[in-house]
Copies of this chain bind each other. A is one copy, B any other.
Amino acid sequence: MLSPIGISAQTREEGPWWPHPQWGPEDQAGASNWVTDTKVLRAVKLVKTGKIYELGHVYTRDMPLWGQRTFSLVTPDPYKQFTKKNTPVWNVDYFSGEFGQIGTQFDALGHTGMSITMADGSEKDVFYNGFTRDEVNGSAYGLQALGIEKVPPIITRGILIDIAAYKRVPVLGNEYEVTMADVRGALALQGMQEDTIEPGDAILFNYGWANNWENRDIYNDKSSPGIGVEVGLWIAKRKACLAGADSPALEVLPMTDSSLGFPVHQELLIKNGIFILENMDLRGLAADRVYEFMFIFTPTPFKGASGSPGSPVAIR
């Protein structure tokens, strides 16, 4: 098993974690490759009633934002076509802000890289599949590799793991790190086993943290429950396509090991190409005890963006 950090030497051609033997050195689609047509069919067949669950929040000016990010939507002065008999009037909104990294958000593989030591001793910033910072960045106008437009629609089998229910609390404590024991316990309570997870699944963790969404002072970027490296490694091993949660970072904040910066993001996005979906709202699924479903998230392909907002849904 790989250590999540401290890799001492890596080469472009044959490092411990790239190129991904499955998908080749040019791959930019990551774990979405697990989602084949057959997998889509598998997901479709889970639909029994046609009931749709919306798994995201509405994006508002006063929602919790990471750091100093901006959500600014203005409504320009409506335009009225006075010269036409039917005099239509038009509204067109104008938005500015960190588009793909606010509210319910899906991380593209270009969202994060890390500095590693190469075999020749040099330091290099690398992203998924060994793409370097020079290959990804260097333009003011969008990422040149690993942007959101490289990600296909994610339509797959979804699994909810309700940690809050297992712990018998409405909301996990802030700073609580979810363990593998919790994951196994929650699955067992749901009548599932660890190996219920199949390649390409979207795994969603319910911490109950969405209950704090309306309270920006509590729901912030400093302190929230989440998984740690232990569960991150398990997700990778299970070959999930995506991991999501109802918290700002999926992983616990602050990090249990304060010397590390977002090790779960590294394990998933950088090393394994597994996408992350944050700030979800899983209360509907949890309330109805829906643990297996058709999952849909269609990233908006703004070329070169590091992520996407959107409206993830489950259908059962």
Contacts and interface: CB of A to CB of B under 8 A. Distances in A.
Contact of A259 (B37, B40, B85): B85
Interface residues of A, number: 100
A58 B259 CA distance: 35
A141 B298 CA distance: 26
B59 A143 contact: no
A44 B79 contact: no
A262 B86 CA distance: 9
A121 to B, nearest CB: 15
B141 A40 contact: no
A301 B56 contact: yes
Given A50-B44, A86-B114, A305 B80 contact: no
A266 B70 contact: no
A21 interface: no
A51, A74, A112: most-surrounded residue (chain B CB, <10 A): A74
A89 interface: yes
A155 interface: yes
B261 A73 contact: no
Interface string A103-114: 000000011111
Contacts of A302: 59, 73, 93, 95, 309
Given A73-B142, A98-B94, A110-B91, A152 B54 contact: yes
11 contacts: A5-B85, A40-B47, A41-B49, A58-B301, A70-B96, A74-B94, A75-B143, A75-B306, A91-B111, A93-B101, A95-B98
Given A44-B50, A75-B306, A77-B139, 17 more contacts: A37-B51, A38-B50, A52-B152, A74-B140, A75-B142, A77-B77, A87-B115, A88-B261, A89-B114, A91-B110, A92-B98, A92-B306, A94-B99, A95-B95, A96-B97, A153-B311, A300-B310
